[in-house]
Structure 1
Amino acid sequence: MTVLVKPQALPDVKVREFKMLIDGKWVEGVETGTIDRVAPSHGVTVSRYKSATKDDVHRAIAAARGAFDHGPWPRMTAAERSNILLKAADMISVRAEELAYLDAIEAGKPITQVRSEIAGSVDIWRYAAALARDLHGESYNTLGDGMMGVVLREAIGVVSIITPWNFPFLIVSQKLPFALAAGCTAVVKPSELTSGSTLVLGEILMEAGVPAGVVNILVGMGADVGASMTSHPDVDMISFTGSTGVGRLTMANAAQTLKKVSLELGGKNPQIVFPDANLDEFVDAAVFGAYFNAGECCNAGSRLIVHRDIAGDVTARIASLSEKVKVGDPLDPSTQVGAIITPQHLQKIQGYVSGAAKSGATVAHGGSQIDFGFGQYMAPTVLADVKPEMAVAKEEVFGPVLSVLMFETTEDAIRIANSVDYGLSAGVWSRDFDTCMTIGRRVRAGTIWMNTFMDGAAELPFGGYRQSGLGRELGRHAVEDYTETKTLNMHIGRRTGWWMPR
């Protein structure tokens, strides 16, 4: 049995009302439509946003364009921009509990987890502020006596930033501060399911001193708002995190005007475990990797590729530990797995589990919905006897579902790991350095964890191979992603050429 933490009724729920931020002002929008957010944990409306239209998008892009072309932000010194970003980081820290509550109640995320995410976001903003002062070009004085070359890095311009519902504040913090550090302006669209914390960020940035029009924030549906943000000719770059399917549409829209595109998309991430691994540590990491954020995580370790000799023991131990995972009220500090984002998504997760069972997989733990009388919750689920060709082993479930597959040789493990369309991350567990390095070199993924899983730092680049996306976020080059390079080729002294005497 899973440990249940029954959600407590929300006392005197007051719906929080939000407007949209355009050109430094909080506005209603061209039309009067609104979007209500029902808490996935409690089944009551907790937030209400003004719903943007295409006209609002055009206004926001015009504000960002004007702020970039004529405003002070791109023309400030790096030190000035850095100081504003540092001030914003401090203010995020002051309002951390408010931000954590919004993400917990709107996304169903455990409050203890979200507090760590906000703290990590503060660190990212400070890291981006440091990179602002380190952004520089190159010079070449080795081109001959009469030549000097200088390579500049200039802010790319207006950036459309589109973020998902699973990590509302953390993911916008992996994009926006680096764009701002480079001198760009932005139009930001958080998910219409979890927009609250991003809108509060807009308040923070204005108070920190970001000029009007530099950051504009809209809430709306992807078919209207997102499509306009990715196709508008005055947008120079798109940074998108979301599903692979929507990523393809984003690329198609961007292709109309050949915008630069950065995409962080889906994953079907394996953890490969060999018989010589520390199984106590591995089992803990496997349960964490599968159930963290209710599995609604592109980095989720949703595939265990286990050596046949230890598969039975490992599966039993994981199922046993899964019984101790606390599922329920995201506002309870003891909760480890919160609510599923929408009823439709819960139905999708259950469809993968039932489909796997019909195809011959064994439900070793969980497998069903948890009914508290309101909200939507899924029991942590372990599927054994999974074959690589099953949908649950190939497709992104995005829920607390762990599939156990078996291998016999290192070549088998690598083949299974690389047999999906994704390549975001992977883990390998072995005490043998050669084994870890072999897997690390040959599994096609952007991050390979060795004897750990889902660790990270602002200094380390993040992104994937193949259909997991394009480009990288974080790391020392993150600010450079929001720049163009310009060559200044300078001639010194009198020029000679076709018609000039030598």
Structure 2
Amino acid sequence: MTVMVQPKALTNYKVRDFRMLIDGAWVETDGGKTLERVAPGHGVVVSRYQAGTRRDAERAIAAARRAFDDGHWPRMTGAERSNILLKAADLIAARAEELAHLDAVEAGKPISQVRGEIAGSVDIWRYAAALARDLHGESYNTLGEGTLGVVLREAIGVVSIITPWNFPFLIVGQKLPFALAAGCTTVVKPSELTSGSTLVLGEILTEAGVPAGVANIVTGTGPEVGAPLTTHPDVDMVSFTGSTGVGRLTMANAAQTLKKVSLELGGKNPQIVFPDANLDEFIDAAVFGGYFNAGECCNAGSRLILHRDVAEEATARIAELSKLVKVGDPLDPSTQVGAIITPQHLQKIAGYVLGAASGGARLAYGGDTVDFGLGQYMAPTILSQVTPEMAVAREEVFGPVLSVLTFETTEEAIQIANSIDYGLSAGVWSRDFDTCLTVGRRMRAGTVWMNTFMDGSPELPFGGYKQSGLGRELGRHAVEDYTETKTLNMHIGARTNWWMPR
């Protein structure tokens, strides 16, 4: 039986009204409309955003263009930009509880989890600040006595940053500080479901000293605001995190003007478990990897590929541990699985579970929606006897649902893991590190964890193979993604004439 934490009603909750940040000013949309956010965990309106229009997006792009072409930000020293980013990190830390509360009520995320995300974001901002001082080009003095080559790294220009609802503050932190560190100017479009913490970030950046027009924030829907951010000729690069379907559309839109594109998209991430694995540690990692953020996570370890010798035991133990996972009120510090983002998404998750059960999978645990009388919730769920061709084994469910598949040989495990369209991350469990390295090197995934799952740090690049995206975030090269290279080929001394008089 799932442990349930009854949500407390948000009585007398003061709805927070937000405006947009364009060219250093907090403005209302020229369309005159607003969007209301109903808290998925409590069923009441908690935030009200401006319903931005195409015209608002164009105003923000124009501001960013002016700030880049004529402003001081791209021409600052790396140290100057670094100091401002460090101040922003300190201000984020000072407002951490406010930010965590916003993400908890708007996204239905457990408050304890979001506090960790905000702390991790502070670390990322500080790391990006360090890279602002370390960005450099190359020089070549080996081209002969008459030639010196210098390769510069220059900010790419205006960057559109489009972020999703599942990690509202953390994901903007994986993009924006690196773009700013490089000297770019930006227009940020957060999800229309979870814009609050990003708008607070706008207040923080202004206080930290980011000049007007450098970091603009426009709220609204994809068709109204997102589309012009991907097509406008004054945008030089698009950095997008979201579904693979919208990622394809973003790439097609950007192709009209040949913009640079960075895409962090979906995942259907496998964990391969060999008979000699430490099952105690794997069981905990399986539950964490499947239910963290209610499974609404591109990195979720939702495919458990278990050797037949341990499959039955591991599945039973995962089911037993799942019974202890606390589901419910996002604002209760003991909650581990919060609310599902929208009623429609809850129906989609439940549909995957029903479809798998109808197709021959066995419900080893859970499978039910949880009715607290307010908000929408899903119990942790495990499906066993799943086969590789089932939709639940191939498509991104984006909910707290684990699918158990089995294998006999290493080749079979690798084939199952690599057989789908995604390649974001993966896990390998074995006490034999030769096995871990052999399998890890053959996995078509951007990150492979060995005897752990969903660990990370700002120093390590993150991104996917195949339809999980293009490019990488984080890591010391993240800031370079927001630059162009320019070659300066300098001739020294007299030049040999092509036309030699006779």
Q: Please classify the TM superposition score into its range, dividing by the shorter chain length.
A: over 0.9
Counterparts in 2 of 1:20-59, with a 5 A limit? 20-59=20-59
Aligned to 2:258: 258
Aligned to 1:286: 286
Aligned to 1:372: 372
Letter in 1 for 2:383: L
TM-superposed CA distance for 1:11, in Å, is: 3.0
Letter in 2 for 1:167: F
TM-superposed CA distance for 1:14, in Å, is: 0.8
Identity of aligned residues (%): 82
TM-score in terms of structure 1 length? 0.99
> What RMSD in Å do the two structures reach over aligned CA positions?
0.8
Aligned to 2:413: 413
Aligned to 1:423: 423
Aligned to 1:4: 4
Matched, 1:16 2:5: no
Counterparts in 2 of 1:110-121, with a 5 A limit? 110-121=110-121
Aligned to 1:340: 340
Aligned to 1:202: 202
Aligned to 1:436: 436
Deviation track 1:322-363 (CA, whole Å, cap 9, x = no partner) reads: 000000000000000000000000000000000000000001
TM-superposed CA distance for 1:275, in Å, is: 0.7
The size of the alignment, in residue pairs, is 502
Letter in 2 for 1:389: E
TM-superposed CA distance for 1:500, in Å, is: 4.6
Letter in 2 for 1:410: T
Counterparts in 2 of 1:283-322, with a 5 A limit? 283-322=283-322
TM-superposed CA distance for 1:489, in Å, is: 0.2
Matched, 1:153 2:177: no
Separation in 1 of the partners of 2:434 and 2:148?
47
Aligned to 1:131: 131
Deviation track 1:12-58 (CA, whole Å, cap 9, x = no partner) reads: 11110000000000001111110000000000000000111000011
Aligned to 2:396: 396
Deviation track 1:119-144 (CA, whole Å, cap 9, x = no partner) reads: 00000000000000000000001111
Classify the secondary structure of the residue corresponding to 1:133. Answer: helix
Deviation track 1:296-345 (CA, whole Å, cap 9, x = no partner) reads: 00000000000011111111000000000000000000000000000000
Letter in 1 for 2:331: L
Aligned to 1:64: 64
TM-score in terms of structure 2 length? 0.99
Runs of 4+ in structure 1 over 6 Å off: none
Classify the secondary structure of the residue corresponding to 2:210. Answer: coil
Separation in 1 of the partners of 2:281 and 2:497?
70
TM-superposed CA distance for 1:501, in Å, is: 7.0
Separation in 2 of the partners of 1:110 and 1:81?
34
Separation in 2 of the partners of 1:251 and 1:31?
28
TM-superposed CA distance for 1:497, in Å, is: 2.6
Separation in 2 of the partners of 1:458 and 1:433?
25
Aligned to 2:175: 175
Separation in 2 of the partners of 1:280 and 1:301?
17
Separation in 2 of the partners of 1:89 and 1:288?
28
**Gapped regions of structure 1 (runs ≥ 5):** none
Separation in 2 of the partners of 1:304 and 1:63?
48
Separation in 2 of the partners of 1:259 and 1:170?
25
Letter in 1 for 2:188: V
Separation in 1 of the partners of 2:454 and 2:154?
34
Separation in 1 of the partners of 2:363 and 2:193?
31
Separation in 2 of the partners of 1:267 and 1:6?
31
Separation in 2 of the partners of 1:43 and 1:55?
32
Separation in 2 of the partners of 1:337 and 1:364?
19
Classify the secondary structure of the residue corresponding to 2:104. Answer: helix
Letter in 2 for 1:198: T
